[in-house]
Amino acid sequence: MIVRSLYAKLAAVLLVLFMLVGMLALGITLYATDLYQQEANQKLNRELAQHIVDEKRLIRDKLVDQAALEDVFHMLMVINPAIELYLLNTDGRILAYSAEPGKVQRDHVDLTPVRRWVQGGIQFPMLGDDPRDQNRKKAFSAAAIKEKGNIEGYLYVILAGENYDSVTQMLTGSYILSASAWIIAGGTVLAVIVGLLLFAMLTGKLQRLARAMAVFKSGELPDLGKVPAKGDEIDRLTSTFLDMATQIDEQTRRLAKTDQMRRELVADVSHDLRTPLATLQGYIETLLIKDATLTGDERRQYLEIAVRHCHHLNKLVSDLLELARLDALEIQPHCEAFSLAELVQDIVQKYRLRAQEKDITIEAQLHSDLPFVRADIALIERALENLIENALRYTPAKGQVQLSLEHVAQGIRVQVRDTGCGIPDAELPRIFDRFYQLDKSRNSNPGATGLGLSIAKRILELHGSAINVTSALMRGTTFSFQLPAF
């Protein structure tokens, strides 16, 4: 079976890891128990060999006393069969032993640990050669056999025979070791189960995140509920994914809206360009067809109409290009400090003649001691001109257009107020849309492009200011915005 899921891989790794840890713990326990057993046994029987040597003379006149040796062998076999006795000469050669025939594999024993034992200063456990095995070391007790002050040999006592030579024998022969092994095994199994449950909790978060990603891939915004703000790495990953998904969804919606606006823009541009072009084409063709029959006044009238439509077409194209550059951020404000009051006076003076032609009063209402503002003077002038042209267009004769400046806490508030026809409440949200005109008949305002308010709004947005509008039918409209004081 191929392990594919993260949970299965983690479970397999966890199982192998805990099995290795359990085996290592069992091995360390057995090793430590064996050392402790040898240390305890060696401390307990440290004087055993010396007592035997003091009790029995095992070597007389450099010869082994077989009778005394047999007596000692018999006595120790009765008292403790696990003890093995070896009689060594001064070179370490085994002269006699109490083990069964055929079991002893060595004929010599290394005397270095034996001499250290006899000299004293022992650090337990001290291990020496096991005559039954060529490679094994075991705890021992030793004593020098002396005659007339000279060492004639050594009594070498192995304190544990073959009873615990294998792990199985140690486990089966010791209740404590057997219980310890079962405890280690049980603890390992319990740790594995708890680990699997914890991994299930952790991978469960990843599985939910994977399902949420699949949902998002299908085009829907996933709902993972409330994610802890200060959770673990998976919670932070989930939170980051949800933020990213929300941003992508919002961007997708904006792109869809932008695409819809682009379609509307193309349709509106097509309509607004087609009308003056068709009119221009019609009058020019009329001039060509009726050139011989037209009087001078008629010909001049046709040319004036054609020129007027050319100007309108030129203004429409210029406004479109300007709005496109503003939307693409190709035009950036170059802010400087200037007197807004002087700018307003210049603009009012510029439009005074046009207002008089329409029998409209235009004036500036300025407070004294107005501070300078920090903005792009050319762009602010363009925005104010668009607002004034819009006010003049919809204000009837005998009406009034007023520009006012007021010093407020946030800077200077600008208001463009007219006494025109007003805007219905239902139309207010749309007046800043491209090509939107309150009068649905475009021909009623041949100089209007429907882009002036859009351009003014975009200019003020680049300055970090919002434009507000209030209106009442047959009473007038007021546009207002603020600029920061310098």
Q: Do the beta carbons of residue 400 and residue 356 sit within 8 Å?
A: no
Residue whose pair of structure tokens reads 């479109």 in the numeric block: 320
CA gap 151, 432 in Å, rounded = 120
* pLDDT at residue 3, as a whole number: 45
- The verdict on pTM exceeding 0.95 is no
* pLDDT at residue 271, as a whole number: 63
**Domain 224-331 CATH assignment equals 1.10.287.130:** yes
CATH number for the 6-180 domain, one of 3.40.50.720, 3.50.50.100, 3.40.50.450, 3.30.450.20?
3.30.450.20
* pLDDT at residue 447, as a whole number: 56
Provide φ and ψ at 399, rounded to 5°: -85, -175
Q: Across the strands, what pairs with 416?
A: 403, 479
CA gap 174, 167 in Å, rounded = 11
Instruction: Report in angstroms the alpha-carbon separations of 217 from 220, 248, 252.
Output: 7, 11, 13
Amino acid at 346: D
Where in the chain do CATH 3.30.565.10 domains reside?
333-483
CA gap 398, 359 in Å, rounded = 6
| CA pseudo-torsion sign 212, 215, 219, 220 | negative
CA gap 214, 203 in Å, rounded = 16
Q: Across the strands, what pairs with 477?
A: 471
Q: Token pair of 385, please?
A: 């001109």
Q: CA-based angle 209:214:217, to the nearest 5?
A: 125
Residues contacting residue 318 through CB under 8 Å, at least 6 positions apart: none
**Residue from 72, 135, 41 nearest 86 by CA:** 72
* pLDDT at residue 335, as a whole number: 92
Where in the chain do CATH 3.30.450.20 domains reside?
6-180
Q: How far is CA 2 from the centre of its chain?
A: 30
One digit per residue, pLDDT tens: the chain, 486 residues?
444 566 677 777 877 887 888 788 777 877 777 777 778 888 888 888 888 888 888 877 777 778 887 888 778 777 777 788 899 999 999 988 887 778 888 999 999 999 999 888 778 888 999 998 888 888 899 999 888 788 889 999 988 655 445 544 555 556 666 777 788 788 878 888 887 787 777 777 777 777 888 888 887 777 766 766 677 777 778 888 888 888 888 888 888 877 776 676 666 666 667 777 887 888 888 888 887 888 888 888 888 888 887 887 787 777 777 777 777 677 788 999 999 999 999 999 999 999 999 999 999 999 878 999 999 999 999 999 999 999 999 999 999 999 999 999 889 999 999 999 999 988 888 888 876 666 544 444 555 667 889 889 999 999 999 999 999 998 999 999 999 998
How would you classify residue 219: left for phi > 0, otherwise alpha for psi between -120 and 50, otherwise beta? left
Q: Do the beta carbons of residue 85 and residue 157 sit within 8 Å?
A: yes
Where in the chain do CATH 1.10.287.130 domains reside?
224-331
CA gap 252, 244 in Å, rounded = 12
The superfamily CATH assigns to domain 333-483 is Histidine kinase-like ATPase, C-terminal domain (3.30.565.10)
